[in-house]
Structure 1
Amino acid sequence: MRWSLKQNPDPEIVQHLITSLNVTPLIANLLAQRGIATFNQAKKFFRPELEDLCNPYLMKDMDKAVTRIEKAILTNERILVFGDYDVDGTTAVALMSSYLKSFYPDVDTYIPDRYAEGYGISNQGIDYAEDNGITLIIALDCGIKSIDKIEYATQKGIDFVICDHHLPGDEVPNAVAVLDPKQKDCNYPFKELCGCGVGFKLIQALAANREETIEDLIPYLDLVATAIAADIVPIVDENRILAYYGLQVINSNPRPGILAMKKQFAIKEFTITDVVFKIAPRINAAGRIKHGNYAVRLLTEFDLDEAIEFAKEIDEFNMNRRVLDQQITEEALNQIIENNEENTFSSVVYHESWHKGVIGIVASRLIETYYRPTLVFTKSGDYLAASARSVKGFDVYQALEKCSEHIIQFGGHMYAAGLTIKDSEYENFKSKFEEVVKSTICEEQQTEEIEIDAVVNFDDFDEKTLRILKQFEPHGPGNMTPVFLTPNVFDTGNAQCIGKNNEHLRMFVKQNNSKPFPAIAFKKGEMLNATKNLKLMNMVYSLSENQWKDNVTIQLQVKDFVVN
């Protein structure tokens, strides 16, 4: 594991922030690293305001989308809300359908089957619309490249409003309206909305047209915050505002479906991290193991008792997903060892029985052991399908392009992709992919990097500083949880291994005469003996809150440490 210290920001900006905000150099440095240079920028960062959300009508085609939906309502057309089967898609469908149904009853929902239909708008979904007399489809978190599907719908007399956030191709579908801030000719100022976020802008525009205010839409923000967290979009600008208020809804007055999932955990206040690791996997598990409709049903249920039953069902899907994930990861790791591939530049593994719904998760798990670009294949009909995951700085999509002679189709982005190949091409592809990675990956990309925000002493964490650091939340891309390095730390003698297999290390650490901090080092149990006899360590960590019943304590979440 490689440690790197972030560059110091402009000292003039840091000094200005120290003076204007009356904060410590540590806080000023952290703010400056996040692009905050003035008092007003800091105010917007610490006190997000709903009134700072952009006018939804700045988005290209928003007026067309609202006009077409209002026409459908006026003329009693049936509307179908269509979305992808992951968290972003299912929350977006729940958001749009529940808003429309609050004043118009003739609204249906459709989530494609992950295995029978695949990602995005499907002919089956369009046929469903035709068979049920539906003349308008609102597509969320998909559609920006569905040119042929929109043409197919048009021939059947079905209109489309597309709400997407993925990069468009050279041509966009011929829909009634295409809402996607990433379109080159779209002047919407914030480009990093998730699919549910684009859906929220549409209901914001519909609400304005109906003389409702932004405050009327706050109850929908638990869904938007969940999608922002799960889709790993930058939590800056509008996303920070939406996530900030969405978390408040999740913690104070969430919809019954989210409350039902929360009830399974003894956590007083959910953070964005809790949403990522506790709520999002359960919503995702529906589409991975059974069907995304289960997630939509949970998220749109208004009776808490019913929602609790739905949540139990989805929790079972998630438990099944975890069992599959662990089992397949173990089999994949054994395959790498059996093939003597521990020291290759890439990991490519395959078994025909592996569950297609979890191979992306397994690819990420393998990277935790072998830090390198990874593909996990399984049988999918007449072909082999794979999920690809990458490491920091390495573009797996470009690597796949260089292997295209062995691939039927592929798609994705720099760090994650999916592909399909013929069974007979597996060995050829595997050999070519290894060759491409070996010739293009840099030495520094082969070692996991920890970026450190600041070198600090424990004495720097007084109550005011800890209180301000808490206000840096919600964290995510663009505002990651600060990572600190503290030198010459020692365990007080109470270190112990914890966890089912004693794989984690719990310590109580001090620096000089500071107060002791509890510290947890996940998957570092084998380092227990290295901490003995007051040995001095350099420790890299982030701060987290440990909630137990009604007690909340600050603990260090240790990323790495070395004994001096």
Structure 2
Amino acid sequence: MGKRWVKASDCSDETIAKITEQLNIDRSLAQILVQRNICDYNSAKDFFRPDLDHLHNPFLMRDMDVAIERIEKALATHEKILIYGDYDVDGTTSVALAYSFFSQLTQNIEYYIPDRYLEGYGISTAGIDYASENGFTLIIALDCGIKSIDKIDYANGLRIDFIICDHHIPGDELPKAVAILDPKRSDCEYPFKELAGCGIGFKLAQAYAQKHNLPKETYLQYLDLVMVSIAADIVPVVGENRILAYYGIRKLNTNPCEGLRALMEVSGKTENYTITDVVFTLGPRINAAGRIDHAKHAVAMLLCQIDGNSLEQSVEINLKNIQRKTYDQDITREALALIGDSEILINKKTTVVFNENWHKGVIGIVASRLTEKYYRPTIVLTKSNGLVAGSCRSVAGFDLYEALSGCADLLDQYGGHKFAAGLTMQQHNVDAFADKFEQIVSASITEELLTPMIKIDAEIELSQIDGKFYRVLAQMGPFGPENMASIFVTHNVYLTQSAMAVGGNHLKINIKQQNSSIFECIGFGLADYQNLLQPKVPFSVCYTIEENIWRDKKRLQLNIKGIKVN
């Protein structure tokens, strides 16, 4: 599928010139900073030198004081506390953080992760019943709960208090919990709205430590867990998240917790992690526990709970990830066969596929793969506990959550955000839902949004790329949503030798311009261009700049995102 090359909006030449002079950097790099609203020396200093002292006061969050007071009461009267969380990476890291932090203060504490298949997403009646039957009077829920109105009412009837730590969008009504920590509450004035669920748990630990004058290390030791949640939950890597991710990556690469260290060992990559590495290496393995078996095993690994053998636990989770890959490949193949090459596909703006035998744990991954292939809002449905459950994925710029809201009359439950969501419905509503979802999306999505986009940050010459250029560029990381790795475009480049296809579907070329050095390039999934590129015939490329390390030798490499033959 062809992609649109879209240049970033023009910036003030005066501001770019000022940043260029103040920082003594290449003008194109100054342009990228201004695009990120870094327009003076002080904001650039904060950007390039993230500082933990710049984390916001946790008590700026609505209900934080109430939450801490309720925890203090529970600790003083030796109440039993249950740490409750979702079964994905954000949920399991949240539980690991909160359980580990508060277990420093009490032994009357356990954690609980709902079974994906028996209980479903969020607060469950079974979880509340477990708390009641085992004498828990306070539940701290992380990465879930903001819409669990009836479940919190049920808990209140059993005299169980809830503190909700969530980052999802609230509904019109809030649950009747003792405290609700969610920056997205309309009445919450916390300065940063995009924390992950684990980030909310971190702020809770920070608040308790701050009030009780505990050493900062009592909560800063969990920065690697917070970073993993930021990476895996695809939240914006700006503001407070960027500070947390910056120091979290540093901790992962120097002194990770034992569970993550063991997982790094079994993954085959033990150093030089980036956010992208976490997304594609650690995240899927942590997720696999809940997708294939039970997410409590992921928490146990992160806490080194079972026999204290983190390596053994990580090996088991790695095996579950291998099994997950098999399910993923099989279901993707079946879904593609269902869609087929029907002519109706051309006119549709959505993809909705259903098979009651598909494994619920991997339909989200399949939805992502179908979205990549057909590039339109996609929903993959399967049968689970008598209902149809679905995972939903969107395309850049289209609000999926709003579209689902328009189908609410056909759904039992739905939740998420504009790029990804989950839902449940009665099976007899599947066809009506697919039709209505198609109607709603078709009425609002544009053809432009249905074409993948490459956002180009700056046009440069290859001669601009040198060691200093790359060092400044690298310091703009860690990269992620709203602070993505910069993509450059260069025109009139040519091959210095014939293009090669490598690894089956990838492209390897060497390019240069009139007055530049030769640059090695890799283009993943771009092998089709092998025969279109000929020596001495100019073409254009857009790319990111990377440092390739091989046998302790470092060299700059261009990772090609798109090619246009002139």
TM-score, scaled to structure 2:
0.95
Do the aligned residues in 1 keep the contact of 2:237 with 2:245 (CA within 8 Å)?
yes
1:322 aligns with 2:325: yes
TM-superposed deviation, 1:365: 0.5
Inter-partner Cα distance in structure 1 for 2:385 and 2:270: 43
Q: Which residue of 2 aligns with 1:477?
A: 481
Task: Deviation per CA, 1:396-418: give whole Å up to 9, x if none.
Answer: 33333444454444333322222
Task: Deviation per CA, 1:39-95: give whole Å up to 9, x if none.
Answer: 111111010111111111121221221122122122222111111111111101000
User: For residues 382-421 of structure 1, what are the structure 2 equivalents within 5 Å?
Assistant: 382-421=386-425
Inter-partner Cα distance in structure 1 for 2:124 and 2:269: 40
Task: Deviation per CA, 1:290-349: give whole Å up to 9, x if none.
Answer: 111011001111799711111111111111111111111111112211544442322222
Structure 2 CA distance for partners of 1:191 and 1:435, relative to 1, 3 Å: closer
Secondary structure of the structure 1 residue equivalent to 2:92? helix
1:301 aligns with 2:300: no
Do the aligned residues in 2 keep the contact of 1:342 with 1:370 (CA within 8 Å)?
no
Structure 2 CA distance for partners of 1:350 and 1:540, relative to 1, 3 Å: same
Aligned-residue Cα RMSD (Å) equals 1.9
Structure 2 CA distance for partners of 1:53 and 1:170, relative to 1, 3 Å: same
Q: Which residue of 2 aligns with 1:556?
A: 558
User: For residues 126-137 of structure 1, what are the structure 2 equivalents within 5 Å?
Assistant: 126-137=128-139
Inter-partner Cα distance in structure 2 for 1:238 and 1:428: 42
Do the aligned residues in 2 keep the contact of 1:298 with 1:311 (CA within 8 Å)?
yes
| Greater shift in the superposed pair: 67-76 or 189-198 | 67-76
Inter-partner Cα distance in structure 2 for 1:190 and 1:438: 33
Inter-partner Cα distance in structure 2 for 1:425 and 1:72: 45
Inter-partner Cα distance in structure 2 for 1:174 and 1:383: 27
Counterpart code for 2:214: E
Secondary structure of the structure 2 residue equivalent to 1:556? strand
Counterpart code for 1:187: E
Q: Which residue of 2 aligns with 1:290?
A: 293
1:239 to 238, 241, 263: 241
Q: Which residue of 2 aligns with 1:166?
A: 168
Do the aligned residues in 2 keep the contact of 1:266 with 1:548 (CA within 8 Å)?
no
TM-superposed deviation, 1:454: 0.4
1:270 aligns with 2:263: no
Q: Which residue of 2 aligns with 1:9?
A: 11
1:362 aligns with 2:366: yes
Percent identity of paired positions between Structure 1 and Structure 2: 50
Q: Which runs of 4+ in 1 moved over 6 A?
A: 302-305
1:525 aligns with 2:527: yes
Inter-partner Cα distance in structure 1 for 2:437 and 2:173: 30
Secondary structure of the structure 2 residue equivalent to 1:71? helix
Structure 1 stretches of 5 or more lacking a match? none
Do the aligned residues in 1 keep the contact of 2:300 with 2:306 (CA within 8 Å)?
no
Aligned residues: 562
Do the aligned residues in 2 keep the contact of 1:60 with 1:188 (CA within 8 Å)?
yes
Do the aligned residues in 2 keep the contact of 1:260 with 1:304 (CA within 8 Å)?
no
TM-superposed deviation, 1:171: 2.3
Counterpart code for 1:195: G
Secondary structure of the structure 2 residue equivalent to 1:444? coil
| Greater shift in the superposed pair: 402-411 or 197-206 | 402-411
| Greater shift in the superposed pair: 75-84 or 332-341 | 332-341
Do the aligned residues in 2 keep the contact of 1:113 with 1:292 (CA within 8 Å)?
yes
1:38 to 37, 40, 45: 40
Structure 2 CA distance for partners of 1:425 and 1:518, relative to 1, 3 Å: same
| Greater shift in the superposed pair: 229-238 or 437-446 | 437-446
Structure 2 CA distance for partners of 1:196 and 1:308, relative to 1, 3 Å: same
Q: Which residue of 1 aligns with 2:376?
A: 372
User: For residues 200-279 of structure 1, what are the structure 2 equivalents within 5 Å?
Assistant: 200-263=202-265, 264-266=267-269, 268-279=271-282
Structure 2 CA distance for partners of 1:433 and 1:156, relative to 1, 3 Å: closer
Structure 2 stretches of 5 or more lacking a match? none
| Greater shift in the superposed pair: 98-107 or 270-279 | 98-107
Inter-partner Cα distance in structure 2 for 1:165 and 1:340: 41
Do the aligned residues in 2 keep the contact of 1:196 with 1:227 (CA within 8 Å)?
yes
TM-superposed deviation, 1:380: 2.1
Do the aligned residues in 2 keep the contact of 1:218 with 1:246 (CA within 8 Å)?
no
Structure 2 CA distance for partners of 1:457 and 1:303, relative to 1, 3 Å: farther
Inter-partner Cα distance in structure 2 for 1:208 and 1:157: 29
Structure 2 CA distance for partners of 1:272 and 1:168, relative to 1, 3 Å: same
Inter-partner Cα distance in structure 2 for 1:85 and 1:505: 38
| Greater shift in the superposed pair: 313-322 or 211-220 | 211-220
Inter-partner Cα distance in structure 2 for 1:176 and 1:552: 54
Secondary structure of the structure 2 residue equivalent to 1:363? helix
